[in-house]
Structure 1
């Protein structure tokens, strides 16, 4: 056994004896009072006082070891921990000797019960440390072997006096077996805990490795997807031929599908490790649902399906919640409903009831498709599961949409449940909690970004070109930098209105470059910095904000989101806030 394990057992035994102090004090007080009142033993108070002193010495010896199990005890304290159980046991068990020799009726029986109870307590309390068990049990074994001699001296003519040797031997054997069994059980428990701890560490390392792998793959995949989407959008807007526009739209649709699959994988990875969070911001609930439904009407019409909405008038108009995640869940439900319905209709039933200062919303999507069997419903919310291989061939998908949707619903204070009868369609019911909110005041029209000087910092040439393509229709003057070091050189020599900074770059990353920029005295010390990252989690954004960044956009870059971020940091209010940020970000 290694030193660390030995120290752990020593500390465990010390803590166990300290925790057992109240039971031993209670037993001592009870025995003292009972024997004094029932048998008139005045000397019992002396025994109780001596035992109390022995307990105090034991507590003094064990307290520091129990309080600091990681520290190596000195040799004299180890010696004290071994001797103190012997002294307390010798003092406590000594009471059995006069009871064995007493001519009072049942006194020897009380002595035997006292020894047996003491041995049981020794085994339970000191089971994790063999030396402490032997030290504490030895006095009781000596007293137990002395019992037949004392009984024979006090009762020389008793026929059963010699039989006490057999009883003492059987009790000693029983105690030894019980001690060995308990020690083996404790060792097995310790081994199981150690094994479980190793498995937990291995699982955590595996999850961390998987998260790192997903983040790396996300970054690498988002780079070509950004270029595909940006190039397709630019091609669609510039080519005059209808056939070329169709081809550009095909490329854009394929890129959008790749982005959706990648987002599903990232969302699932974040949910697995508990890093997914939902936001709370005011939004127009009716408008959000109306816009989402409007996107799916053409898809439903292509298949000859009716898309009906019931109960929209009962919904509150403005609420506080996560509009993006609500749209994500509803998009998944409508996509599945239309995908698996060949004729009939898809109906969306909306409902709301007041709960305190908020609202409990229910969105039920009912289709007239083929339905889901009971066996398939059991697998419906299993990651990466598809109902059949024909579904995969015909409709594709990652098998994560419903899993993610249910977890998002639970993060929003609700749930996602399904009911279906095979051959009669399926019903998915989404419930969630939202808070009541007031309509925001209509502000002034946001600033124009045309003519803005923007420094684009990214280590990947494809990303730089893709962002440049997105910025060109905005009338922005873009300058490109391939590293944090090059960006700082440009920022020290030229004045820019905004910096688009990739977060993860080799060498000096985006956050470090921003900290250096904020801590300097160059012409762009207060220039707004927008983080561009493929891992747009709340934790990542908090780190970017702490470094002095003012806003963020996720890869692949959505032109609308990028324009909104530019308009946000260029607004007068945000400019004033940005001027106060560097002081907090300066190391």
Structure 2
């Protein structure tokens, strides 16, 4: 039998009693005790303060002092060792006093050789083991929280210089200042983007570990999904002179319900790895579906004729930062996070990734996920022809009615309008929530109400959240679909609570938008819910404009609050290239001083971490002192919209910032 190790302290001024207690402890064969013996209260307190023992046997009578005094002092100095009081004779009052003072038990010395003594020792040791496990768990949780805070801070600190590296490189490539250096600039840009992708991998892994990464499942046209995947990775395979083969061993679902982005991320990681370590031959993707009761098991086998994986490394390849190739001699770049992230994402989706490999002959990675509610009649044998997808999309049922599309970005507005028109619907556009309200009132007065609204969430003047609340207050009951890029936990539920009927994620999936519109329009028509408002809408929001010169009359006036000099200068240049008037503050205090000179700003770009303030805490102060179109938080980490809303911040931008992101302000 394996003995448990335990360190025990005996505080006893009678040597005979110490010897008897030690002998009786030796009879507890399931424990191997390391015993320390002291005879004075001072010696006892000195050792108890160190918290190095698993248990203490404390004599009640220690010369002029009693064990109760030692017990009380040990409790005050936060001693975590379970203490059993030893007494010469049974005394109910003494026993109660010992328990009240913090002892876990009491034992009469005449019971040293009795079962009661053995039970008391075992109970105290079990209690100590539970306490140790609790403290260890708290310590691990504290370390995990510290790691999350560190990663969030590291993300911010890395994204700030990346903003300058990528931004200035793009500016140089767009200018004619250094045409001879364009090849070198492209190398800098490509490697900067690669560094950003590695940073995103680390953050993905930290989100998974902290249980903060949320899946956003939705319907996926399976054949379209697979063709898109094959098309994307065929280029990489062709560059290496190998074939990328896509096969299906039987019927598979026409449509699946999964998180498209994350499933795509897993498969790209697995297929790209196979291509990366294959120099000749092929990489094959074999898809199989097996229906069991009402659930379908989807299996993706990604096999290759590459280098293979040594048997001794197979158990570790799904661990973070582990790589098959030696760190010094390997030819391929990466942080060794792709397989770890893929494995964790598969688990989160209720699936698994396994691998078989033979060194020198190739490997086969197998992804298995469960697809619920798949029925045999929804299965089909796919030919994987791109034309089939186009036909499926073109075959979408025609819809009727007039739709209002609301988005502040012209490109997105036109794209969504084009998609909606392809459904047979007529389209009217609005650039923000306020304009949408005005348009609804006008169309309603003309007797031509909208059948539905497709509206972006983040817009200037009045965002989608405020707009939908005003529409519902006014009595408009037409279906309203939210367009959003937010993927945080609970976002869909929050939007539906505000009054949206459905939520469609960006980038917009044509089939999904058609499904939602079709469903909502059918429901609205059957219920005849298009009603004229009984009450007036909220008054139009008029933002008081500052006194402007003719040169700045039409310019977008931006306050940029950023402590990093290089990042501030770059962002200012990018905004000015878009026609904005920009004023820079490097501290929270300086930003508040700028408000005294100008009470109106189209937007405030506010860094999250400033030397004298937090952007989250500074935002309400700015809103209280000035008329601001919107406050945008610039951060190195993702922040839930609910946190931003509480501070009056309309949205956030993730560093590094580029020109395309800044165009959304203008």
Tell me the TM-score range normalised by the shorter chain: 0.5 to 0.7
* Equivalence for 2:128: 191
Q: Label 1:382 to 1:193 Cα distance change in 2 as closer, same or farther (>3 A).
A: same
Residue of structure 2 aligned with 1:201, choices 138, 146, 155: 138
* Equivalence for 1:550: 650
* Equivalence for 1:447: 408
Deviations 1:292-340 (A, max 9, x none): 5544333322211222333599777876654443343233223211110
2:609 equivalent to 1:504: yes
**How far, CA to CA, are the matches of 1:466 and 1:286 in structure 2?**
44
* Equivalence for 1:18: none
Give the alignment's Cα RMSD to 1 decimal. 4.3
Deviations 1:206-255 (A, max 9, x none): 32333332222222111111211112222222248765222111001111
Which range moved further: 307-316 or 204-213?
A: 307-316
Task: Give the C-alpha shift of residue 406 in structure 1.
Answer: 0.7
Contact 1:376 1:387 in 2 (8 A): yes
Give ranges in structure 2 of 5+ residues lacking alignment.
1-43, 49-90, 97-102, 374-392, 411-553
What is the correspondence of 1:28-427 to structure 2 with a 5 Å cutoff? 82=92, 128-130=104-106, 176-239=113-176, 243-280=180-217, 293-311=230-248, 321-350=258-287, 361-389=298-326, 393-427=330-364
Deviations 1:566-587 (A, max 9, x none): 37xx8xxxxxxxxxxxxxxxxx
Task: Give the C-alpha shift of residue 375 in structure 1.
Answer: 2.2
Q: Label 1:261 to 1:235 Cα distance change in 2 as closer, same or farther (>3 A).
A: same
**How far, CA to CA, are the matches of 1:339 and 1:305 in structure 2?**
11
Contact 2:639 2:652 in 1 (8 A): no
What is the correspondence of 1:469-488 to structure 2 with a 5 Å cutoff? 469-471=573-575, 474-488=578-592
Contact 1:275 1:537 in 2 (8 A): no
Deviations 1:451-498 (A, max 9, x none): 644433222223223434554565554443323333344456243333
Matched residue SS, 1:419? strand
Residue of structure 1 aligned with 2:634, choices 526, 532, 537: 532
Matched residue SS, 1:418? strand
* Equivalence for 1:514: 619
Contact 2:595 2:625 in 1 (8 A): no
Q: Label 1:192 to 1:551 Cα distance change in 2 as closer, same or farther (>3 A).
A: same
Deviations 1:335-375 (A, max 9, x none): 21111000122233345678999976544432221222332
Please state which structure has a larger fraction of its residues in strand: 2
Q: Label 1:464 to 1:294 Cα distance change in 2 as closer, same or farther (>3 A).
A: farther
* Equivalence for 1:152: none
**How far, CA to CA, are the matches of 1:545 and 1:394 in structure 2?**
47
Deviations 1:124-183 (A, max 9, x none): xxx9421xx65xx9xxxxxxxxxxxxxxxxxxxxxxxxxxxxxxxxxx86x843222222
Q: TM-score, normalised by structure 1?
A: 0.59
Task: Give the C-alpha shift of residue 395 in structure 1.
Answer: 1.4
Please state which structure has a larger fraction of its residues in helix: 1
**How far, CA to CA, are the matches of 1:355 and 1:234 in structure 2?**
56
2:397 equivalent to 1:460: no
Q: Label 1:187 to 1:313 Cα distance change in 2 as closer, same or farther (>3 A).
A: closer
Matched residue SS, 1:395? coil
Tell me the matched-pair count.
408
Matched residue SS, 1:307? strand
Task: Give the C-alpha shift of residue 195 in structure 1.
Answer: 2.7
Which range moved further: 466-475 or 295-304?
A: 466-475
* Equivalence for 1:153: none
Task: Give the C-alpha shift of residue 264 in structure 1.
Answer: 2.3
Give ranges in structure 1 of 5+ residues lacking alignment.
6-80, 87-126, 138-171, 571-587
Task: Give the C-alpha shift of residue 560 in structure 1.
Answer: 4.9
Matched residue SS, 1:385? coil
Contact 1:128 1:186 in 2 (8 A): no
